[in-house]
Amino acid sequence: MKLIKKLILVYTTLILISSCEGFLDKTDPTILVADKFYKNEVEIEQAVNGVYALLQDYFNNHWQFTEYISDNTTLQFNVGDRGQGPSLEALEYWQYNSGTGNISSLYNSSYYIIANINRLLDNLEKIEIDQEYKAQAIGQVKFIRAYIYFDLVRFFGDVIVVDTPVQTLEEAFLATRKPADEVYQFILADLQDAVQKLPEKYPTDQTGKATLGAGLTLLAKVYLTNKQYAESLATLNQIQPLGYSLLDNYAAVFDTNNKNHRESIWEIQYLGLNTGGVNSSFIYTFAPRLSNGSVINFPGQDGGGWNIPTNELIALYEPGDERKEASLQEGYFNQSDEWVAVPFINKYNHEHDVRGSSDDNWPVYRYSDVLLMLAETINELSGPTGEAYEYINEVRRRAGVPSLSGLDKVGLRNAIIKERRIELAFENHRWFDLKRTHTNPELIELLRAHGRSELASPTTDRGGIPFSAGDYQIEEYQLLFPIPADQLRINPGVGQNPGY
């Protein structure tokens, strides 16, 4: 794992030469030195690790679009600084539009990653290196490309599909969006190829790379999203023999001394150093404002007050659920030993040596997710069988809560959705789970009910500042993000999503 992180450090600057797609990033089109790279396995290894390096920045902000926008989290309102209103607050209050900067950043960073992957794949086809090594490299980056496109199609609907390097501005301006069904077919093709090439495991010094288990988990999730339950079940059944199992203790899943354990299928690697930008800093974003060293253990250190657990989510934990304390805290004692009732995410709150440089990895796929997907697919195919109950109850037993029984198909379906919300809280699953398990009208009503709850009794104090008229008012068209305005200025032919 240390080697892969060192290679990420080396390649962080090299990666900048690889994107000349004009409609994605307006860099100097005469800089084509990337074509002189990719000559041997060492440089391919650097390039592959450079793609992983880009995922660190991607996941630094992913929570905004998956947890924070949903009913799981909110914000600690900052009366004195309204600077985040056009961006982060726009997402929380569903006030976003085509000019919302954070959505534009999401779109641009997604295609930047894809551009680098396409450049790498194009060069891999041209060089003679060990065939097994080449296959693994292709499998890894196709897996990552599929992951990014899976996000894009769920966030934006119809999107541009680019699978080769864009050589000229003219090519870029001809790009058009593909229907979502075609995007999914592209994703499936990438994943089906990736799972043929990805190994079950890597040498210890390459821990953190995408494995067969990661590829199968993503493939099963794509099938599940499209309600292809038989295909999802068949894929999930291929994961079970790979040796994953739940840790005995839920808190240990996130312990920075216990990374890449037997429950972890894929996690984004960070290293708590003060060099190279490979550290994480999630707790600095999620800890309460004005906490002054009471949450983050450095004198005077405040948090950002973002991604605050909602009262609604906190109330869902059953008595004795061991996941609650590990996942969140309902407040903290300040330096005067007074209780401050501002909740915060606790999963990524671990001791670290350098201020601002935490060591937490980000869990993308865990085996508990697989178990809950198994329960869901079996329930959808066959109803609440004993096997479906066993999978969800395995997750619940680890949490210290009673096993479920006696539910009908709808009751077990709802129980699985709730279990996913608790088990995977603050791991970037909630928005997508809501979208795939609800019809659009059902989801709009659920979100509006959450909004009414926050308007009536906000999770955090607003310092006397009232909500604006449009806060927590959501329409069906907003279940897809707008195509960013800057992209439409570059290429009007891309077209905007309806409603914006």
Per residue in 281-309, pLDDT (tens digit) is 999 999 999 999 999 999 999 999 999 99
Q: Assess whether pLDDT exceeds 80 at residue 13.
A: no
Residues 306, 284: Cα–Cα separation, whole Å:
9
Residues of the chain with pLDDT > 70, as a percent, come to 92
Taking residues 431-448, report their average pLDDT: 98
pLDDT score of 319 more than 80:
yes
pLDDT in tens, 83-140: 777 789 999 999 999 999 999 999 999 999 999 999 999 999 899 999 999 999 999 9
Question: From CA 42, how far away is CA 57, in angstroms rounded?
Answer: 24
Q: How confident is the model at residue 275, as a pLDDT?
A: 67
Please tell me the predicted confidence (pLDDT) of residue 84: 74
Cβ burial of 23 (10 Å; 0-12, 13-18, 19+) is buried
| Helices marked H in 160-228 | 169-173, 180-197, 212-225
How many whole angstroms separate alpha carbon 9 and alpha carbon 236?
Answer: 34
The pLDDT tens digits of the residues spanning 201-246 come to 999 999 999 999 999 999 999 999 999 999 999 999 999 999 999 9
Parse the chain into domains and list their residue ranges: 1-210+474-500
Pick the CATH number of 1-210+474-500 from 3.40.718.10, 1.10.1370.30, 1.25.40.390, 3.10.20.740: 1.25.40.390
- With 80 as the cut, is the pLDDT of residue 279 above it? yes
Does residue 82 surpass a pLDDT of 80?
A: no
Kindly indicate the confidence band of residue 36, based on its pLDDT and cuts at 50, 70 and 90.
low
What is the model's pLDDT at position 444? Answer: 98
Burial class (CB in 10 A: 0-12, 13-18, 19+), 232: buried
Say whether 102 sits in a helix, a strand or coil. Answer: helix
Query: Which is more confident, 55 or 81?
Result: 55
Place of tokens 């680890």: 398
Longest alpha-carbon distance in the chain: 67
- Quick: pLDDT tens for 407-419: 999 999 999 999 9
Element (H, E) at 344: strand 344-345
Under the banding of pLDDT at 50, 70 and 90, the label for residue 25 is very low
Mean pLDDT of the chain: 92
Residue 365 has pLDDT above 50, yes or no: yes
Q: Which pLDDT score, from 0 to 100, does residue 29 have?
A: 32
pLDDT value for 136: 97
Token code pair at residue 370: 């697989």
**E-strand stretches of 25-127:** 73-74
Averaged over 19-34, what is the pLDDT? 35
Q: 14-23, 26-35, 272-281, 360-369 — which one is most confidently predicted on average? A: 360-369
Helix (H/G/I), strand (E/B), else coil: 410: helix
* Relative orientation angle of helices 409-423 and 386-399, to the nearest 10 degrees: 30
